[in-house]
Amino acid sequence: MQDGEVQGLAFCGETFAPRSVSIIIQRGIISEITEITKPITQWIVPTFFNAHTHIADTVAMDTPIAGRLLADLVAPQNGLKHQILRKTPDDLLVIAMRESMRFMQATGTVAFADFREGGAHGVGLLNQAKIPGIFPVIFGREGGEFFADGLGLSSAKNPVVDLAAVKRARTAGKRIAIHAGETGIKDIEDAFSLDPDVIIHATCFENRHIREAADRNIPLVLCPRSNWMLGGTVRAARPPVRKMIDAGCTLWLGTDNVMFVAPDMFAECAFLTTIYKTTPQETLAMATGGFALFGHHGTIDVGEPANLIRLDPGYVQEWTQSPELSLVSRIGSRAVRSVSASGSWYDSAGNSYPFFKGE
């Protein structure tokens, strides 16, 4: 844990309002934010929480899928992805997961919630793949949940959920996450009946489901690029993002299977903004909201961990009329200079270095 200072145009607080500031960091925590008048040479952005991934899919990256149904591709146990995972040696799985973690870190993500298949062994491989400065929340299955943070269920319908297993996970204090409403409404009510801590997709949610998620304060993780890629939606009304926001739902953002979608949260934010017309504040709240799983806000505020992205805004700094809008729709991950997680900066190659005064 290092002390230090970083200066620039920072997107502060829950409104992500850009302010020209100096941020003081002590023991990995933001201890002070003060206004400065120096010319701006960099932007400072809260790091992202990618709220839904399957990073082991890296080994099946961009397998051609034209004309194939979702169930045929990803459903347990014989979907194409599971066949590929089963025949991939452990050492290659570990390398592939580590490389996706490096990619995520280099593109501004320092934490992610991963659905890890393959039972306790699968969870062990992800733990083996970990690198400093990026923190997975692991949802295991088939017994893997007892060695992980929670139980990640593929669906309430396929395969049929083992209710006793859900109860055992709950008793062991594990979180329950489940895919629901990805391609239809059939599995939604059963998913709610499991009293999940997180619902993934919610693409086909109708008004009553939106109301229930809002009233029960169950976070919904939206994965818009995955939904478009895999046929979950063909129109901007699905998932019903605006209705969900208006109803007061807690919404987080995820990139889903690395097999089909790069785990780049800048790209996910730009897609969300373009298709669903979310405001920059709404988009950034969704891209950082998953830090609640660690008990943090994920914002640039005094008392929060110093999880920051240093960006080179390039010529955008000179011309933009809305830094917030440029941040979510234009800048892109190529502008990332370095990323910090609590105590150290990490450059794009994953090398760490301490905070410096006046960085």
Which residues in this chain contact Zn ion in the complex, by CB under 5 A? 256
Q: Which of 110, 261 has the CB closer to Zn ion?
A: 261
Distance, C-alpha 126 to centroid of its chain: 16
Residue among 246, 243, 242, 239 nearest 221 (CA):
239
Minimum separation from the CB atom of position 179 to Zn ion (A): 5
Strand ordering across the sheet containing 308-311: 29-35, 17-26, 4-12, 43-46, 308-311, 336-341, 344-346, 352-354
| Nearest residue to Zn ion on Cβ basis | 256
- Shortest gap between Cβ of 48 and Zn ion (angstroms)? 17
Residue closer to Zn ion by CB (options 256, 264) is 256
Residue 22's CB is within 10 A of a number of other CB atoms, namely: 16
CB 152 to Zn ion: min, Å: 8
Q: 140, 229, 220, 234: which is closest to 180 by C-alpha?
A: 220
State how far the Cα of 208 lies from the Cα of 211, in Å rounded to an integer: 5
Beta carbon nearer to Zn ion, 18 or 181: 181
Min dist CB 115 to Zn ion, Å, is: 6
Candidates 195, 190, 172, 179; CA nearest to 115 is 179
How far apart are the C-alpha atoms of 223 and 227, rounded to whole Å? Answer: 6
Based on CB atoms, which residue is closest to Zn ion, 76 or 350?
76
Nearer to Zn ion, 198 or 327 (CB): 198
CA 84 – CA 78 distance, rounded (Å)? 10
CB of 201 to Zn ion, least distance (A): 7
DSSP category for residue 98: H
Nearer to Zn ion, 57 or 324 (CB): 57
Q: Which is nearer to Zn ion, 256 or 324 (CB)?
A: 256
**CB distance 97 to 129 below 8 Å:** yes
Smallest gap, in angstroms, from Cβ of residue 222 to Zn ion? 12
CB 269 within 8 A of CB 263: no
CB of 254 to Zn ion, least distance (A): 8
Unique residue bearing structure tokens 């110093």: 306
CB of 223 to Zn ion, least distance (A): 7
Rank residues 145 and 256 by Cβ distance to Zn ion and give the closer one.
Answer: 256
Question: What's the CA gap between 15 and 279, in Å, rounded?
Answer: 11
Cβ–Cβ under 8 Å, residues 161 and 196: no
